[in-house]
Amino acid sequence: MLKALQNLDRRWIFLLMGLAVGVPILVIGITGRTFPETPTPLAQSVFDAVNELDAGDKVLLSFDYDPASEGELAPMATAFVRHCAQRKLKMYFMALWPVGPRMVQQNIRRVIEQDYPDLVYGEDYVDLGFKAGNEAVIKVIVTDLRQYFTTDSKGTPVEEIPMMREVRSVQDMDLLVNVSAGYPGSKEWVLYASTPFGRSASNPEGFQTVAGCTGVQAPLMYPYIPKQLAGLLGAIKGAAEYEFLVNEWVREQRIAEALVAGGMAEAEAADLATTFAKSPGAAEEWTVSGAAASMSPEAKSDLIRVADAPIPGKYLEGQRRMGPQLVAHLLMVLLIIVGNVIFFMSRKRGGAR
């Protein structure tokens, strides 16, 4: 067996890797189920930075990536937009990459226009478009945003956009969100915006900064955590963790809204929503108990529908992509272990001879 493993055709390894990637994709695609995620402190910090804001607070979202890195970064960008929309935050979109506006428009169409049609352009969100100049743009807009952004992406003067009337610079924002594939991106936002003007001991009213970036870029950003950078999402793993947190929170919010609409107090509704979000079947069991006697049949039906509603696939892309990555990584670890075992056994036999 040792000799057979030593002379194993490498094409069998390629086949195993192909199956490790292909089978999870097929299984997840057919069943719709994903692997569970346990968020790390970095992902939790990103979630908390967005979640601690109040409705109406201002968030600048700079999408500095292109289709080449969309596989890693699109899921986190989508989760950011959904989280901000659900929190009813005012979203200011921009880009330092030429293809960035395409990424912005894609998320506006898929998230805001489809799932939050009550949000009004110019009052709840605005697309300022792309500006060339790399970090020079950041250096200017941190003190005078209108020097570069005189109109939005549609050509409307910023003076005519309601949500732009009180905004003069990046310092008027409450949170800065950057999704970056490289230069210019997260590092430049930290160096020229967050470090001199962000929240600190000397500037407690300053804005916070969170970022999502590719795997190769993440190690360069760790030194800036937690002072200049409140949280960081690294590659598809970070996207999946944040996506999981946002999905669970949105479900809780919608369940709580259904309970309040049924006549329940907000505090009690929030406690029950947490339980029902973790175990959707519990909502249906609760509706037949005495505790739900005061709710109308229509309110009970709405509660069950919201609690059991499946999460749309566009909000599960990060978790779905973690499936094949996890299995492929496990196979790589196994092959490394087997390879070392073969090496040391061969060395031992050679020494005996």
Residue 220 contacts residue 187 (beta carbons within 8 Å): yes
Its pTM stands at: 0.89
Which residues neighbour 78 within 8 Å (Cβ) at sequence distance 6 or greater? 107, 110, 111, 243, 314, 315, 317
Share of the chain above pLDDT 90, in %: 69
| Region of residue 296 (phi > 0: left; psi between -120 and 50: alpha; otherwise: beta) | beta
* Rounded distance between C-alpha atoms, residue 208 and residue 198, angstroms: 6
Asked whether 229 and 210 are in contact (CB, 8 A), the reply is yes
Q: Give residue-wise pLDDT tens across range 1-40.
A: 777 777 788 898 899 999 999 998 888 888 878 888 889 9
Confidence class of residue 86 from pLDDT cuts 50, 70 and 90?
very high
Other C-beta atoms closer than 10 Å to the C-beta of 304 total: 18
Domains of the chain: 41-243 (3.40.50)
Q: How confident is the model at residue 352 (pLDDT cuts 50, 70, 90)?
A: very low
Give the Cα separation of 255 and 284 in Å (integer). 12
| Buried/exposed code over 133-147 (b: 16+ C-beta within 10 A; e: otherwise) | eebebbebbbeebbe
Those residues whose C-beta lies under 8 Å from the C-beta of residue 186, and which sit 6 or more positions away, are 178, 180, 211, 213, 217, 221, 229, 232
Please provide residue 180's backbone torsions phi and psi, each rounded to the nearest 5 degrees.
-130, 140
The neighbouring-strand residues paired with 233 are 212
User: With 50 as the cut, is the pLDDT of residue 353 above it?
Assistant: no
Contacts of 208 (CB under 8 A, 6+ apart): 49, 174, 175, 176, 198, 199, 230
Q: Which amino acid is at 273?
A: A
The residue-averaged pLDDT of 313-331 equals 91
Alpha helix stretches (DSSP H) within the chain: 2-6, 10-31, 41-51, 70-86, 100-107, 114-115, 135-141, 186-189, 195-197, 218-221, 235-261, 266-278, 281-287, 297-308, 317-352
> Cα separations (Å) of 243 from 80, 106, 261, 320?
9, 17, 27, 11
At 253-283, the pLDDT tens digits run 999 999 999 888 888 888 889 888 888 788 8
Q: In this structure, what token pair is assigned to residue 346?
A: 């061969």
Q: What is the pLDDT of residue 290?
A: 82
Residue 177 has pLDDT above 60, yes or no: yes
At 191, list the tokens: 């160096």
- Which pLDDT value is given to residue 350? 67
pLDDT bucket at 41, cuts 50 / 70 / 90: very high
